[in-house]
Amino acid sequence: MIHDLLLACLSSSREGQGVKQFLDTTAVEHFFHPCETEIFMGILNIMNVYHEVVEFTQIYSTKPVQSEESTSNADFEDLSHGFYMLNFVKGIESALEESYQEIVRLEADCRKTKRNSLSYVHNALRTKLPMLMLVRKLIMEVKVMKLRGCALLHNLHQQSEHGDPQLERVVQKVIKPVKYAFFSSLAHWMLFGVIDDIHTEFFINFIPLESGQGSTCSKSTQSFISSAEQTTEDYIWQYEINMKQLPGFLSIISAEKVLFVGQTVLVFKMGRNPKSKNKMDQMAVELNDMSREDIYELWNGRESEFFKTIQDLSNDDKINVFRIEQVVNEIKKFVSRRLSEIAVNEVDLERQMGLLKDFYLLGRGEFFLEFFSQLYGNFDINTEMRSRNYTRAFELAATGLRITDDLENFSLSSLRNSEEPDESYDFQVLQSMHLKYIYEWPLNLLFSPKAIERYNKIFRFLLIIRGLQYQMQRVWATQTWTEKAESGGTNIRVMNLRNHLLFFLNNLQYYIQVDVLECQFEIFMNVIRSRSDFEEIQRAHTIFLANVLSQCFLLSDTKDAHLNITACQTQANPIYGTILKLFSICEKFIHMTHSIETEDITEEVVRLEREFGVQIASLIQLLVDIRTSSCLGPLSQLLLRLDFNHWFSQHHCPSDQRA
């Protein structure tokens, strides 16, 4: 009877029919003494636990399924057959090896007709019960919590710190193959920029741009490289951190470093794409294909050393969190230094940033003066904004100033639909302008699509201010010339309103260009000149853009969509909304001076004066509120210039709101 029971335990039948038959039969009552029945039932309970574990391993092992009906078990339907799950099963099989060998030994003793009591068999198997119970607990957690991938590894890591040394060794056996899968994925991503993760188990995943709902459809880098060639500069930004799979023993900072290293490798795999206008240039295509796989320039022959370092992490008995962070930091530091050397020395990053300042931040004032001169023509203020050719004016301005070489990598376009209604303000056409910058390799990591869009947001804001300034100055020139030519009287109201509007535009433009952009840009350039590693340059660049957007009142809680006058208070922060309304007043004044006769202009000027007073008072009060609740120094400069000696606040603010 004991021999039959042991043979039933060694049976590879998934259902464990042998053990179940012992539970159903009445043989126990006939062949065992009543005092041994409880002992025998204890053996059966141990074997039941053993078979539960074996059943799980057989379902998820790579072996063929023996029974079709058993695969319909609802407990297993929601679990994916991923790479980590297969390695988890391998770990369980490794941990079960001792129990299996013990059963084999007991069965061999019975086969040799060696007399062993039922208590002897029970005590021998009971020593393995804690291990079996622990393994079953791990399996139940995987099934109930539906763990997979790095989340499964994190759960095993939490269970590895056990007070019982024997059970601790069991968990180490279970976790070892899963660790191997994790560090293998980590090494392939960090050193070769490859993720072969069809089940989305790694904490770095690939999200295609065509995925409208942000599905985490991760695939191998090799399979997507062909589609990425169409938008090479955007390809590296399609990799993101999957927070659901980020293991708890890896901080978000370390995960970002891992992501950065892999993206850097992808940049070097893309290589220095030859700029050949002739698509049939086969030599250029061949050189491009060769450079894409050549990443020796990045690793400088140390890739095998780093690969072995990551591989050694999987050989440790436990997951050494501090050692993992140390290895990630070491590789990240090496990559940052190599990238910084190439970006600063070969590409001349300082000059590239100077070009961005000249055109995105309107640092080259004479160029944009010529641009607006080409755009508006010879005082043809009535020409509709949307009918003007901005791209042509951009090119003519560059040609006129002979700076076409500097503008080689810049191109201006409009994102506005020509079929949109004409009811919006003219300056909103400038809000649809998009300045494209073709950056040099390997600056892909610095000028991400999000960063370029932020530059465009600043560019459009400055373009609106400069455009209104230009038109207001032409209004002044036109009125001055008319008054001298016709010897007519000066309309004091028109002159005062014009001066107030120009005063607002000039001081706002000076605040942004001098107090904000010059100051923040110089801080960023000092980081580049200090020969910092690329990580520090990248961080300083992000801080630079964030500070500029914040101090220019361009940060909002919504995604940066096109703003309009009617929704400016809800879509953007209130200061920016008030500034837009002041822009609209400036534009109304410009059109008024060209469309209304001089004798009929007084009533419209009074209305605009009243509207300007309300909005400028609102702006000043908002600036005062922000200044008192923050430590932004430039705001004090703007308030001092706009409301010097409280001139506007005394004339337009209610008495209880004066600054």
The pLDDT, as a whole number, for residue 631 is 55
d(CA 107, CA 18): 15
**According to the 3-state scheme, what is the secondary structure of 569-617?**
HHHCCHHHHHHHHHHHHHHHHHHHHHHCCHHHCHHHHHHHHHHHHHHHH
DSSP state of 247: -
- pLDDT tens for each residue of 575-612: 888 999 999 999 888 888 776 565 567 788 888 888 88
Residue 362 pLDDT more than 60? yes
The pLDDT, as a whole number, for residue 114 is 61
- pLDDT tens for each residue of 418-441: 444 444 556 677 888 889 888 877
**Cβ(616)–Cβ(648) below 8 Å:** yes
The pLDDT, as a whole number, for residue 71 is 43
DSSP state of 656: G
Residue 393 pLDDT more than 90? no
What mean pLDDT do residues 358-383 have? 77
Q: How far is CA 86 from CA 72, 83, 93, 145, 153, in A?
A: 19, 5, 11, 17, 12
- pLDDT tens for each residue of 464-489: 999 899 988 888 887 777 777 666 55
Residue ranges of domains in the chain, CATH in brackets:
2-146 (no CATH), 178-341 (no CATH), 349-657 (1.20.120.1900)
* Confidence at 255, pLDDT banded by 50, 70, 90: very high
Q: How far is CA 482 from CA 318, 476, 479, 486, 593, in A?
A: 86, 10, 5, 6, 12
3-state secondary structure of 232: helix
The burial class, CB within 10 Å (0-12 / 13-18 / 19+), for 519 is middle
- pLDDT tens for each residue of 288-316: 444 444 566 788 788 889 989 998 998 88
Strand partners, 240: 205
**Cβ(240)–Cβ(205) below 8 Å:** yes
Give me the chain's average pLDDT, please: 76
Task: Retrieve residue 296's tokens.
Answer: 């020796």
- pLDDT tens for each residue of 628-650: 655 556 777 788 888 776 667 66
d(CA 442, CA 336): 12
